[in-house]
Structure 1
Amino acid sequence: MNQDKKWKSRLKHLTLRNRILLLFVAATLIPFICTCYLSYNTITSILNTKLQSGIQSNLKQVRLSLENALSNLNHVSQQLSYGGHVGKQLEQFLLAEQPYDRSYLTDQIKNQLNLITFTNPSVGLTLYYFGDDQTTLFENTGMTQPIDIDNLPVIAEYYGITYFGPHLSNDRYNPQYVLSALRKVGLPDREDAYIYIESGFKLTQSILDLDEVSKHTNHLILDNDGRISYSELQSVFPENTLFSDSMEPTHLTGINSDYYWYRQVSNQGWSVVSLISQSDYNREKNRWIMQMLGLALLFAVVSLTIGWLLWKMVYKPLSRFNKEIKLLASSNFNAAPTQSRIPEFEMLLNQFQHMKVQIAQLYTEVKVKEKRRADLEIEKLQYQINPHFLMNTLDTAHWLAVMNGQDEIDRLITSLNKLLYYNLRKGNSVATIRDEIDSLKQYLILQQIRYDFQFDVSIQVDDELLEVTVPRFILQPLVENSLYHGLDDHGRIEVEVRKNDRLEIEIRDNGGGISEKSIEALLEQEQTQHHRVGMGIGLNYVKRMLASHYEGKANLAVTSEMGRGTRIIISIQIGEGNEPI
């Protein structure tokens, strides 16, 4: 709460210049920040979706390409196995002893191999491999070196066939990365006979570059156990190592080191992983951030320029106008008028000059009238009628009533005479609370005779306060207010004078109540603007008398509820001996 009050206090004392600057900055920055925030979230979502969908789509094509290549190797190897025509001829060749038979079978096997490789253009080097002596037969092309089966990267092995990941081909005329397969021929007499087939990997490499995203993408091929068989990032992900010790088979995306990775798992259990560095992944986002920073700098320059123009067009003329007002407040009516190039301010300054002339003329008149009004204010109230003539007349009426036995009239005239004597006497503007209470009782006698309804009055005063002096004639207007505003049969007025830390005089009634607007009018406006009641002096008089006597050390409070009554409290600061300060 204290912090909120401090902020409210600071905002309250902000100058116009600071408020204009604050509003302008808020009007400029808040929409810009909101736009940047929404744009950032939107572009991040779009870029992430675009990159992920592009990488996943490309990765799926790579996986399907590899699956097709391996499936093709499996299909070709089946034709060359013992169950196929070529496998039968191989058995005959190995069993043949005559050179002619061996030459004939050699031509037949090579023709069959050429036909198979011709009808399968994706198949490269094809041969039979014998593991015991590590020899080869019927190569369809020249080889650079003997085949080292043990050092080839295995990616999958099942049903008697082993698939090897990308490795350099043994083809002398086409040294490129290839996939390969090793399958047992199934000869009855030779368990070490295998079919070795290579498939050109160039097709897969071309698929890796289909998408624009792939320019920044590297790939790994993992075997069934998650071991890296092929890597395009040997420095970070070396071959023959586990891709991630904590990676579960169900994890298809993640972050490893400084790279995002996406994984596609084949039906055979091996998988392909696409890697993209975080810097490349965030390249588009960073470019957008740089554009936003440039735009923010432009906004700042434009905002400062517009702010300077606003200061020059608005605040500077207002400063001149403020100077004119200060000179006027110091009663300097002869200051030279200032000039402004803005038509609205020119018109305002001209009207202000005209107002200064009128104020200068009225100043002298008001000064004289105010002095006269202050001198005659109390006299005006006290000398509205001639007290001596009135007193003599009432004394005559009193004795006539006594002589004629008119007791009620005698009681009425006696109370009126005492009340007028108290209220209209000259010379002393203060009285004791005892005198005020006595005067109030005489007033109530008159009102009980005057009104055609009954009401009760209760007066309670601490005895020690009876001799305390207060401004004369302050209780009657307050009680008169209770009688005038809604009191009827069974009405009750309570007057209480008590001492707490201050002297308090309270008047309560159970009448119809007064609206807040009426209370304000009774307190603030001159009584002559209202219908006069009784002596013609109301709450405004009491308020002014308290202000005149106590100079801010006394106050008058009025509270009311419609239909439930009104409560008036006078609170006066008192010192030692119960005397008002």
Structure 2
Amino acid sequence: MLIKRLNDMPLRDKLMVSYFIILALALSIFGAFAFERASAVIKQQVQASTQQTVIQAKNNLQSYMRDVENVLMKIHVDSTVQNVLGKPQPNNGFQLNRDIKNLESAILGADIFRKKTSSIQLFAFNKADYPSINLGDSIFSSNDVEQEDWFRRTVEMGGKIYWYINGRQICSARLIIDVSDPRRVLGVVNASVDITQFLGGVDRIRIGKTGKVFLVNDDRIIAGTESELTRMLSNEPGFFSTIYENKQGSVFKGLNKNEYLIIYDELIGPKLKVVGTVPTSELVENIGIIRNALFLIAAISLIIAFLSSIFISYKISAPIYALADRMKSFDSDQYTKVPVYSNDEIGEIYNSFNKMLERIQQLIDEVNEQSRREKEAEMKALQAQINPHFLYNTLDSINWLAIKAGADDISLMVNSLANFLRFSLNKGREFISIANELEQVRSYIIIQKFRFKNKFDVIYHIHEEVLSYTIIKLTLQPLVENAINHGFDGIEYKGLIEIKAYKDEKYIHLQVNDNGKGADIDSLNKMLLEGGGESMNEMGYGIRNVNERLKLYFGEGCGLYFEDSQYGGITANIKVRAVLFGRMEEG
């Protein structure tokens, strides 16, 4: 029903509706695409910016960690620490207390200026009389901590720094190795940093309005100051599973009915990571502005498009309505032209209409003329059928007179000529069997031998299987004529023509070889492709015609080409598709 109503609509309304719909669709598609691309670009930019923030935070934390590691290294190589820990434990209390005081001074001096650590503890090996962990300040015997996990892991690290988190402290520990005997372990030094101090600069970083950068360790969020965001994330198992999927990454994740941008990277090992998280809604506030702007532009464009469609449809349809009114009064017996008022496309339609009227009258005249010519052609066709019969009968009469007079040579020539003409005409058909084509060439050669008084010989190498296949009439004769008239012209020895025919899997191959004076093979082949211009003689036209007919009827890949003959002259090669005679359709 709707389609019928559309079909019945006036042209003016169709143009207006079509124009409006096309513009509306174009604006909708463009607006949706522009909004989608703008949203994607903003998200990518925000993601990249947030990722840089997290990377900078990580770099800051790693810089702090290197400072702490430098403090541990300074203690490790300190000469006082090496001397005190490297010698046996003294027997008197005075010397023991003096050694402990010296170690405390060395530890204090290692971080006295920068204050990167909250506390530093040294655990000496083989110093049973050193204070226990519960009684001392910073120098202890290792006996009380040897079973603790951090201590065992530090020993297993073999001199490398071991980082771990203990409550609100981030700690690092390393072995103190005798610099004069690397196989001898003297103790362990442990430095602790308060989390608030460690995250001091990072904790002040804000991503969006509520986003934060913090640490995550073993499904636990570690932040300098707790916030609503960190409390919410602590209760979301999906948050922790996301950041532990890869070493580092960036992902938009739905948590607690909101989407969050989560960017994470390893800080120390696979468990301790730096994480930046922010609600996506805070990062893409500009997208709403872009969406509203696009809606406003689309609405204004649609109003303009509607008004434009009314105006344009009227300007286009008004002349067409006028032409339609004139065509309604068109009388087939009267061809009245319409006046032209413009030079635009409508004016061209008016001109075309007037030319159509003129053409109709011209076609009527041409049909009458064509009818007359067809009748004349029929008469000429009848005459063409009569003339060959008259010619054959005349040649047959001459042949009997020659036989009666004992002129066998004349009889042979007349019979050869009759055969040649019969195969040339071929009842008006273009195709002929190879057997008949060879018979026609033999007749032609007999006549030419009389003319040139046996100045050349002809040999045939014909495979019998090819005789029943198809060729175009008058294919071989122009090549033989070319060899006689041009190849043997001016030679002082007896000419030789060899005619060969054989078949391969798909094609029939025919060759005409001669021992004449030869020619420029490249020029001959070029003549077949491009023609010889005004200088090409009648024979050249004949040979080129053979090639073009072969390509026309047998297709590309078939045709004629020349090459040097083994006898010293020219070899003309013909290649055609192998089609049995009678199965090839002409035209």
Task: State the TM-score, normalized to the length of structure 2.
Answer: 0.41
Computing the radius of gyration from Cα coordinates, the structure with the larger value is: 1
Task: State the TM-score, normalized to the length of structure 1.
Answer: 0.41
| Higher RCO (C-alpha under 8 Å, 6+ residues apart) | 2
